[in-house]
Amino acid sequence: GCVLVVSVIEQLAQWHNSTVKAAMERLCDYIPEKHNSLCLCIISFSIDREMNADVVCHSLRLCKQDPGQPLCHLYSPPKKEKPSSGLSQALAHARPKHQIRSKSFMGFSSVCAFPLLANLCEKIKYVLRNKLPFEDFDGDKFSTFPTLRGYHWRGRDCDDKNTTVYPGRRPDNWDAKSDSNCNGIWGVDPKDGIPYEEKFCKGADSKGVVLLGDSAGAHFHIPPEWMTVTQMSAKSFANLPVAFSDELDWPQFSEITGFLNSTIGGWTDSLYLRLRKRNRCNHRDLQNISQNGGSSGNLLSLIKSLARNQLLDNPAIVIYATIGNDVCNGERDTLAHMTTPKEMFSNVVQALRYLDSHLPNGSHVILTGLVDGRFLWDNLHDRYHPLGQLNKDVTYSQLYSFLDCLQVSPCSGWLTPNETLRNLTSERALQLSNVLKEIARSEKFVNFDIFYMDFPLRQTAEEWRKMGGEPWQLIEPVDGFHPSQIAAALGTGITWQKALHEWPQVLGKENPFNDQIEAVFKDQGGH
């Protein structure tokens, strides 16, 4: 965190030809007023422009070197010194200047200590623990508030004081008097006395979409303009409060449950939007039950936040997609910490049994295979990261090495120059995908049928090339790891076509009354 902030401050000073102090003040001016308490800390220390961020942060003792561990650095060591000892010598020179000040920065690593951020931190801790909406007055797991696991993650509640009213339920008495399932269709047609829900949605094979996934499914994204000083302005940080209260995830633009027009580049196309277009009665019936770091193991607790009543609700299409974390970890001996095929089988079957006891009959489950993450290194390692674009001094290879040294790499097995290790990681990923394929082939459940599909990375890249794009644009620029907005949108089309041709029963039939629904309820269709 320190290296990131100091890098941005130093580059701001360079780009605007200002002092470091002026650059700090500029950065603080950019951050929304309610969330700039951190600046009280940042602005209190001095930085020498000739010292890179590694030297500054180590000298301030905000970064440390544990005994027996390597000295981690993002930037190349100072050129004036010998490469083997350059950073150590620079630190020895810098520390006397900063060691007195360093005592005042103990709170830097805990932004929740700031009074203005304490309340937000408590809310975020709650949703991280429970993965349920923070504001849900009736306890039905749906909310009228967008972030903090609210309706960005699940269909918007239309009555948060009534636990029997929520998206996805079968209509109560055909919703003649009120909208019990929040799809905006209710009341009685005065021409014939038939409830609109009965007229338009009876026999329409309505169903919701649920994602059980990881940070890729939640759509993790750090805006590159947060650290690209040539593009930076107050507008760059306008989305900071939303981003943090959604855990740096953007499910409202995601591949499976996206429903809003993307504001982070690319465009939004999702399985939910296509199901809604196919049958307008499916309006708001979505749940994104994903978490950063989600794997087949921790999904067993996450799945308990599913909101589906077997007796009262419509069937659902459940996408099970933990595409990387069963082989990805930040451990030095990464192979030893990967999920084994036996563990994968056990975890997934347990999850499916839980779903069988909670999903209404007639539901469907699609198991998605793991990605081949060699795509990341192959397409990014020699490109410049947003932090390195101004001075051409930070490549993705350097970023990956820095994160690996800190033992916080999102994937030590793939984000490495070690080709053998990358191949072994992909080999294990293929083994786990084959487990999923076998489960789909051999396991049977009462309330849903089950299908398997490979993660469509190769087809996505081919489609993007046809459109004139480059493969690296399919990867999130800041973390160099997650699928980008473009990749998510293209992946939706590929998944939809596969389902349409191979499993048409999953998607349900097209509702012939869609146009009439839009005509009658055009003012009640907002998400």
Enumerate the active-site residues.
Answer: 215
Cα 405 from chain centroid (whole Å): 24
Output the furthest CA–CA distance in the chain (Å, rounded).
Answer: 88
Work out whether the CA dihedral 493, 498, 501, 507 comes out positive or negative: negative
In this structure, what DSSP letter does residue 488 have? Answer: H
Q: How many CA atoms lie within 13 A of 468 on its CB side?
A: 0
> Reduced to 3 states, what is the DSSP secondary structure of residue 516?
helix
Among candidates 108, 97, 28, which has minimal Cα distance to 62? 108
Distance CA 190, CA 448 (A): 39
Q: Are 291 and 133 in contact (CB under 8 A)?
A: no
Q: How far apart (Å, rounded) are the C-alpha atoms in residues 127 and 131? A: 5
Task: Report the alpha-carbon angle 275-173-166, nearest 5.
Answer: 50
Pick from 50, 27, 245: nearest CA to 146: 245
| Torsion 61-62-63-65 (CA) sign | positive
Q: Residue 202: how many CB atoms within 10 A of its CB?
A: 14
What 3-state DSSP class applies to 315? coil
3 state DSSP class of 266: coil
The CA-based angle 472-477-483, given to 5 degrees, is: 65
